Amino acid sequence: MTDTPLLKVGGLSKFYGSRIGCKDVSFELWPGEVLAIVGESGSGKTTLLNCLSTRLMPTTGSVEYRMRDGNFRDLYHLSEAERRFLMRTDWGFVHQNPADGLRMTVSAGANVGERLMAVGDRHYGNIRSTASDWLSRVEIGTDRIDDQPRAFSGGMRQRLQIARNLVTGPRLVFMDEPTGGLDVSVQARLLDLVRGLVNDLGLAAIVVTHDLAVARLLSHRMMVMKDGYVIEHGLTDRVLDDPREPYTQLLVSSILQV
Amino acid sequence: MATPLVVSEVFKSFTMHLRDGIKLPVINDVNFSVAGGECVVLGGPSGIGKSSILKMLYGNYAVDAGQILVNHQDRIVDIARADPRTIIDVRRHTMGYVSQFLRTVPRVPAVDVVAEPLFARGVDAAEAREKASDLLAKLNLPRELWSLPPATFSGGEQQRVNIARGFITSHRILLLDEPTASLDAVNRRVVVEMIAAKKSDGVALLGIFHDEEVREAVADRILDVLEFSPRKAAA
C-alpha cells in the first residue's frame, strides 16, 4: 500500500447561480483505486467529475494532484499550458459519447497517435506500431487502423476512445458513463476490457455511472450523490449490500433482477 | 503470534428506511476468537445471523458497535472502523471468503476467476493459472469447462470454482459460507481434505456448514449463534 494519495479533494462546491451543482465534497484517491460516483440524473455527479478534471471551475474548494515529480499542485493554480499538458498526458477522459472524445474524420491510428505526438513522439514508424498495438489491446482489428471512427460501431468507437486515452500511460482516468448507450453484450466486453486494463496498468480511475452493476464490477469504492451532496461513501460491496441511507436503500432496491 | 481473529462486543441491526424506518436487530454482543490452525463452525438455525457475522468480518456489512480485530501483516486492524482501502488490503493479503454463490464476471474464464486473487497479489500469470488448474482438477471440474466463463455452469460447478478461488491463496484467515451446500459426496470429501490441509498450515477458519457429516469432520468447536440472537429472549 502506498501512503500518498494521487488526488486530494477538499470542500469542493459548485453553484449554478443559487442552485447547487455539488456541495462540500471531500475525498482522497490513491493509485490503483477505482472510485465510482453514482446517483440519478441531476444529482451532481457529472458536475463533480467536471470540477475534478478542471473542465469546470468550482465555486469553492481545492483539488490537489500529485505530479510525476511527487509534489502536490492545486489544479486551479496551474497555468493553462500546464493544465493542458496534464490532460493530454497524465490524465485520460472517457466521454459517454465517443464522438466527444475522438476526431471522427481522421483515422483510428491517428486518433491514438495524436496523443503520442502530444508527448513529443515524432517517429512515424514508432507511433504507428504503438497505435496498432493499442488497437489490438482494445480488440480492434489492426486492419482497421486507417479507417475513420465514423465507420465504426458504437462499441468499437468507445474502445477506440479508451485506447486513445490510455496510450500515453496516464495515472488517472475520468470516465463519464463509459457504457451508457451500448447494448448489453457490448457493455460486458467493454467492462471486462476496462477492468483488465485498470488492473494491469495500476490506474486510478473515477467513474461516473448511474448503473450500479457497472459500479460493482469496476470500482473499489463508491460515493452516492443526491441533490449535489455525497450522502454515502464506502467500500463498493458494503454500500450495495448494506446500504445505510434511505436514498441508497431506494436505489439498491430499484435494481432490476435478471 | 497474535490471534488471527478476535471479535468483541459486536452488535448489528438493519434499519429499513423504505419500511418506515423499522429497525431489525440481527445479532447482539458477539464475542469469540479463532486461533491459527483452528476451524470454528457457526451453528444454529437458518436466519439467526450466521452469514451476517461472516459478512461483517469481511467488511461487507457495516457493524453498529464493537470491534473485529484482524492480525494483518503484523499489525492489528479493526475491520469495524477500517477505511475501504485498508479492508481491500486485508482481503488481498490476509482474509479470504468463500461465499454461497459465485458472482460471475462476464467473459472471464473459470481458470482466471480462480487465479484472480493471485493476479491481484502480483503473482506471475502463468504460475497463477497453473495453480488454479491444479485446484480445479482436484475439485473434479471437467477440464473442458476451465476456459469458459462460469455464468452458464451448474450450481455445483460454480460452487467449485468459488471454492478454488477462495482456497488458492495462502491467506491466514478463511471465511466459508456453506461451501459444500451444492456438492456431491465425492467433492464434499475433497473440500473436507482441503480444509484439513489449511488447518495444518495454521490458517484460522470460520465457517457455516449445514451438512452434519462435513461439520463433524472439520469442526474443532461449534459456536451457537443463538447465544447472540436478539430473539433469544423471546424464544
Tell me the H-state helices in chain A.
45-52, 80-89, 98-101, 108-118, 124-137, 154-166, 184-201, 212-218, 236-241, 246-253
Three-state DSSP state, A66: strand
| Distance linking the first and last C-alpha atoms of chain A | 37
Q: What is the pLDDT of residues A87-100, one digit of tens each?
A: 888 999 999 999 99
pLDDT above 80 for A177: yes
Provide, rounded to the nearest whole percent, the portion of chain A with pLDDT above 90: 72
Nearest to A63 by CA among A21, A28, A18: A28
Identify whether B90 is part of a domain.
Answer: no
pLDDT score of B231: 72
Give the Cα separation of A112 and A160 in Å (integer).
Answer: 8
Identify whether B75 is part of a domain.
Answer: no
Amino acid type, B47: G
Q: What are phi and psi of A20, to 5 degrees?
A: -85, 125
pLDDT score of A258: 61
Instruction: Answer yes or no: are the C-beta atoms of B30 and B53 closer than 8 Å.
Output: yes
Q: Which residues contact B92 (CB under 8 A, 6 or more apart)?
A: B117, B120, B121
- Residues of A within 8 A of B85 (CB-CB) are 1, 30, 33, 220-221
pLDDT score of B161: 96
pLDDT band at A84 (very low <50, low <70, confident <90, very high): confident
Identify whether B203 is part of a domain.
Answer: yes
pLDDT above 90 for A59: yes
Neighbour tally for B119: CB within 10 Å: 17
Give the Cα separation of B148 and B150 in Å (integer).
Answer: 6
Q: Which residues contact A113 (CB under 8 A, 6 or more apart)?
A: A121, A127, A128, A130, A131
Identify whether B181 is part of a domain.
Answer: yes
Q: What is the ipTM of this complex?
A: 0.92
Three-state DSSP state, A52: helix
What average pLDDT score do residues A58-67 get? 95
pLDDT score of B107: 83
pTM reported for the whole predicted model: 0.92
Query: Which one of A221, A230, A232, A235 would you mutate to disrupt binding with B, by most B Cβ within 10 Å of its Cβ?
Result: A235
* Bigger pLDDT: B92 vs A121: B92
- Residues of B within 8 A of A237 (CB-CB) are 60
What angle, 0 to 180 degrees and rounded to 10, lies between the N-to-C axes of helices A124-137 and A108-118? 120
Beta bridge partners of B75: B72
Instruction: Answer yes or no: are the C-beta atoms of A175 and A143 closer than 8 Å.
Output: no
pLDDT score of A195: 84
Q: Is B21 exposed, middle or buried (0-12, 13-18, 19+ CB in 10 A)?
A: exposed
pLDDT band at A131 (very low <50, low <70, confident <90, very high): very high
The average confidence (pLDDT) of chain A is: 92
| CATH number of the domain enclosing B154 | 3.40.50.300
Closest chain A residue by Cα to residue B22: A246
- Please report, for residues A32, A232, B105, B108, the alpha-carbon distance to residue A214 in angstroms, rounded to integers and kept in the order given: 18, 18, 11, 15
Q: Please tell me the total count of domains within chain B.
A: 1
Identify whether B211 is part of a domain.
Answer: yes
pLDDT score of B235: 47
**Which parts of chain B register pLDDT below 50?**
235
B107–A220: do the CB atoms touch at under 8 Å? Answer: no
pLDDT band at A256 (very low <50, low <70, confident <90, very high): confident
CATH topology of domain A7-254: Rossmann fold (3.40.50)
Q: Which of B61, B87, B107 sits opposite A241 (nearest CB)?
A: B61
Window from A106-115, A147-156, A186-195 with minimum mean pLDDT = A186-195
Three-state DSSP state, A74: strand
A234–B62: do the CB atoms touch at under 8 Å? Answer: yes
Identify whether B82 is part of a domain.
Answer: no
Residue B223 structural domain? 37-62+95-228
- The H or E element spanning position B192 is helix B185-200
What average pLDDT score do residues A127-147 get? 93
Identify whether B123 is part of a domain.
Answer: yes
Instruction: Answer yes or no: are the C-beta atoms of B71 and B36 closer than 8 Å.
Output: no
- Residues of A within 8 A of B86 (CB-CB) are 1
Identify whether B233 is part of a domain.
Answer: no
pLDDT above 60 for A1: no
